Amino acid sequence: MPAPLYDFLIEKAKKKGLRFHMPGHKGKSFLGVSPELIDFTELSDTGNLYSCADDPIRAAETLAAKDYGAESCLFCTGGSTLGIQSVLGALAVKKCEPLKILAARDAHMAFFNALALVGAEADFINCEYNATFDITCGISPELVENALKARNYDAFYCTSPNYYGALCDIEKIAEVCRRRGVPLIVDAAHGAHLAFLDKKLSPAFLGADFTVISAHKTLPALGQAALVLAKAEKAADIRRAMRIFGTSSPSYAVMASTDLALSEMRVGKIHETATKTYEFIQYTNKCTAFCALTSEDLPYGTDPCRLTVLAASAGISGYDLSARLEAEYGIEAEMADDRNVVFIFTISDGEREFSALKSALFEISAKLEKTEVAAGEGLPSLPKRKLSPREALFRESELVPLGKAEDRIVAEILAPYPPGIPVVAPGEKISRSHISFLVKKRYNADEKIVVIKALDS
């Protein structure tokens, strides 16, 4: 009998293309057994993710907390999306009114949806910006402090590292939040490996109250494997919220893959990956027409195992470079935009993977010339919020062409994906400048978007 998805994935895997995207296991077997063999349920001896009893799950979480310098760790089988929902849910437990969150605007769409689910609201501050790569690159601690002085908030939320590898100065931001008595939430979905390079790259170690991590992105874990790190007194509230938003049947295979992936990371192989990544970046900048993002390009540094290649420096778009790598070399990148291509390196990448990508970039570059890159136009202005995320997401809506949506209130997230950062979010009014930005980022002016039907001003 046909099994379309299964059959397609099996055929794709047989092609043995090179994966520079998540999950971090890169298609290489690491469990040692078939996932079905360890796919149990809640039995008398297997433990229960949502309980606080001593069991094998708690033992694994305790070890993980030590890895990241955290007071507590909770495994999560719904990805960082569920982790973010659980953290906001935990903060909302004792509130009699909607949460008010201050957030850096480069938040992933999962954050915006979580706001709607818990009935919270957020004010945003724009991130710092690199005009050459046309990317956001962290948030100024000074901006955070000034914003926290202006209004009372229940938490500050930021992303570090972001999709391109840019880090925030979490230590200084944590100091600011402590002075203001505001919990710090860090979406570190792309940073599961960083603590194994240096504890000082772990937001929990640096003072974050809550850190959400996707184990499957940069560790050799199965899809949807994630971790939530928190202060000890908040662990029970997070577990309660996770039970509300998550499945009542969390995958034991996913949890076991998290446990095993962390065990693999403790060996220290990630240092070799970081060294190879550094050498690769130097090679790209010296020997090809492409430019690779370095820590010197960013105010607060970058992920040592992330490669962001500026294809525009060789006169082509990131989309074109990504397409050529896939079509001509069987190499699949994590993401591409109009200027850049992003590659994820993990401990699953060996000499074969690094050499193949290096050769491919060199060969493509040999037919191109170094080109001066015009500065990006910068980030669009922050939209005006007219409704709460919850009101907008669940209100009656209609479809209109993007090009004719000026001044309408958006009912669903408008985000060039990846990296999934909303240009306009539910409840916000879309302006002409936002429409122009979206068209530039590969939206079509005739594409239908979802806007509020009953309220359009």
User: Whole-angstrom Cα distance, residue 277 to residue 124?
Assistant: 33
Task: Tell me, yes or no, whether 378 lies in a domain.
Answer: no
Percentage of the chain beyond pLDDT 70 is 99
Q: 188 and 231 share a domain?
A: yes
Q: What CA–CA distance (Å, rounded) separates 440 from 407?
A: 19
pLDDT digit string (tens) for 69-81? Answer: 999 999 999 999 9
Indicate whether 316 and 433 sit together in one domain: no
CA gap 367, 369 in Å, rounded: 7
Encode pLDDT of 4-34 as tens digits: 999 999 999 999 999 999 999 999 999 999 9
Alpha carbon distance 85, 92 (integer Å): 10
Q: Do 111 and 95 reside in the same domain of the chain?
A: yes
310 touches 340 (CB < 8 A): yes
Do 348 and 395 sit in the same domain of this protein?
no
Residues 190 and 291 in one domain: no
Q: Which of 286, 282, 241, 291 is CA-nearest to residue 93?
A: 241
231 & 280 share domain: no
Final residue before a domain boundary, out of 265, 296, 316: 265
Q: The domain spanning residue 183 has which CATH number?
A: 3.40.640.10
Same domain, 275 and 411: no
Strand order in the sheet with 291-292: 291-292, 306-310, 340-344, 335-336
Q: Which residues contact 327 (CB under 8 A, 6 or more apart)?
A: none
- The pLDDT value given to residue 127: 94
Q: What CATH number did the domain enclosing 310 receive?
A: 3.90.1150.10
Q: Give the chain's residues under pLDDT 70.
A: 417-418, 455-457
In terms of phi and psi (left: phi > 0; alpha: psi -120 to 50; beta: otherwise), the region of 387 is beta
Kindly state whether residue 7 falls inside one of the protein's structural domains.
Answer: no
Q: Are residues 45 and 170 in the same domain?
A: yes
Q: What's the CA gap between 253 and 36, in Å, rounded?
A: 8
- For residues 317 and 286, what is the distance between their CA atoms, to the nearest angstrom? 20
What's at 7, amino acid-wise?
D
- The conformational region for residue 27 under phi > 0 = left, psi -120 to 50 = alpha, else beta, is left
DSSP string, 248-280: SS--HHHHHHHHHHHHHHTT-THHHHHHHHHHH
- Per the structure, the count of domains in the chain is 3
Assess if residue 298 is contained within a domain.
Answer: yes
The verdict on residue 28 lying in a domain is: no
Q: Can you tell me whether residue 118 is helix, strand or coil?
A: helix
Q: What are phi and psi of 288, to 5 degrees?
A: -130, 170
| Furthest CA-CA distance within the chain | 65
142: in domain: yes
At residue 456, the pLDDT reads 53
206, 128: one domain: yes
Tokens matching residue 352:
């074969």
Q: Mark whether 192 and 172 lie in a shared domain.
A: yes
What CATH number did the domain enclosing 409 receive? Answer: 3.90.100.10
Q: Which domain holds residue 397?
A: 389-452
Residues 255, 279, single domain; the answer is no
Query: In this structure, is residue 382 part of a structural domain?
Result: no
Choose one of 265, 289, 315: the last residue of a domain: 265
Q: Which DSSP string do the residues of 315-350 spell out, in sequence order?
A: TS-HHHHHHHHHHHH-EEESEE-SSEEEEE--TT--
Q: Give SS3 for 104.
A: strand
At residue 419, the pLDDT reads 77
Residue 2 included in any domain = no
Whether residue 6 is contained in a domain is answered as no
Report residue 358 CA to chain centroid gap: 25
CB 426 within 8 A of CB 389: yes
Q: Single out the residue in 240, 265, 290 at which a domain terminates.
A: 265
Q: Which two tokens stand for residue 147?
A: 């914003």
Please tell me whether residues 320 and 411 are part of one structural domain: no
